[in-house]
Amino acid sequence: MSLIIVGGHACMHCRYRELCQKRGHTVKVYTQMTPQLSKHIGSADGIIIFTSTVSHTMVETAVSAAKRKGIRVLRSHSSSASSLSELLNNIENAG
């Protein structure tokens, strides 16, 4: 499954990627706003947004791209590794 992570801590970038890859997912992590973020989202299967560590602009960009493309969005206030694991469980169990 292809996932996009928006927000989170820059120091956790590698940990987020590692957790997703161990579970068989490909992932792109954006902890900072990048030019044309909506184009980087592409055709992902899901978007995870860590709301406590992300700008409103990044959230609005990710959510609007997800609506246009029919991508599922999951949000978590916490950006910890255990929160990411819970979100991955939700995605995997939803099928």
Q: pLDDT tens string for the chain (95 positions)?
A: 999 999 999 999 999 999 999 999 999 999 988 888 878 888 889 999 999 888 899 999 999 999 999 999 999 999 999 999 999 999 888 86
Task: Please answer whether residues 73 and 49 qualify as being in contact, where contact means their C-beta atoms are separated by less than 8 angstroms.
Answer: yes
pTM of the entire predicted model: 0.91
Distance between CA atoms of 51 and 92, rounded to whole angstroms? Answer: 21
Angle, vertex CA 31, rays to CA 92 and CA 26, nearest 5: 35
Alpha helices by DSSP H, listed for the chain, are: 13-22, 37-41, 56-69, 81-94
Token pair in block for residue 49: 């947004």
Domain, as residue range, for 61: 2-94
Q: Total domain count for the chain? A: 1
CATH number of the domain bearing residue 47:
3.40.50
Place of tokens 């406590």: 52
Calpha distance 81→50 (Å, rounded): 11
